[in-house]
Amino acid sequence: MPWSAVTLELDAAAAEALSEALLDEGALSVSIDQPTAPRVTLTALFPLQTEVDAIVATAAARCGSTTPPAYALARVDDQDWVRRSQAQFAPLRIGRLWVGAGWHQPESGCEVVRLDPGMAFGTGSHPTTQLMLRFVERSVAGGERVLDYGCGSGILAIAAAKLGAERVDATDIDPVALETAAANALRNGVSLGLCAPEELGSALYDIVLANILSQPLIVLAPLLAARTAAAGRIALAGVLDSQAEEVATAYAPWFAVTIPLHQEGWALLEGVRK
């Protein structure tokens, strides 16, 4: 199945808001190259027959722009998409975890997570995913209750289950993400409780994971706090270094927050429930 790829160059300060607006308008995925540079390249993927002009104009208007930005449009075929993904996706080893695709040979002596690049976010290649995997690897000792909020491909939830978490629930607003996470969980031989956010029960969790974007994380602070057990831990990513203090402030009423790790302009925030 072919896709339409929309590519824009814009100021880094405007990229996050536009990426969220494009996702809300139906983009299947959005990526931002070199997020700490003054000017960045944003690429959004849409079904082939999408009225891209209208969507870009609507997304720009939601971000306060009266003039739609210029963009390049290209067709991406399945074969090209897979080839490009394979070239860009290298296997990853983080402590006890090995993450790779079906065409990679796993290392011995580690928990193997197999994920092929697809439409849901999360293969291990993005810095924010790697930051979260590093947290999961050192935080899950076995027996924990874990919630992955905004699970995408399910990579973090699957990693937690592989490392011995007793119960792992995962949720996403995107039905495609939930389907992808379910398929990935089956492939990796783990059990996840998958549902839409509004279908989550009232359970409390020892570990809460959220790799989203800074503004949604700020809005979700009370909800994620309410899901975290006393003395439980939370990890937040999808946050640029320049946004980390603002997100930390939003969670400070409920958590003792630190910002221990950074990678390629992105920050990891960790908190312990007060």
Give the tens place of pLDDT for each residue, 95-135.
999 998 777 788 889 999 988 765 445 555 678 889 999 99
- What are the start-end ranges of the E strands in 61-216? 72-76, 92-94, 97-100, 111-114, 145-149, 167-171, 193-195, 205-211
User: Residue 210's closest CA among 222, 26, 202?
Assistant: 222
Residue 87 has pLDDT above 80, yes or no: no
In the chain, pLDDT over 90 holds for what percent of residues? 54
| Neighbouring residues of 176: CB distance < 8 A, sequence distance ≥ 6 | 28, 119, 120
For residue 84, the model assigns a pLDDT of 53
Q: Which domains does the chain have, with CATH numbers?
A: 3-76 (3.30.70.1710), 120-273 (3.40.50.150)
Kindly report, residue by residue over 240-264, the tens digit of the pLDDT: 898 999 999 999 999 999 999 999 8
Compute the distance between CA of residue 60 and CA of residue 71 in angstroms, rounded to an integer.
Answer: 12
Burial class (CB in 10 A: 0-12, 13-18, 19+), 86: middle
Q: For residue range 165-193, list pLDDT tens digits in order.
A: 999 999 998 888 899 899 999 999 999 99
Give bridge partners of residue 170 from the DSSP assignment.
Answer: 148, 194
Q: What is the pLDDT of residue 269?
A: 98
Backbone angles phi, psi at 154, to 5 degrees: 90, 10
Question: Which amino acid is it at 147?
Answer: L
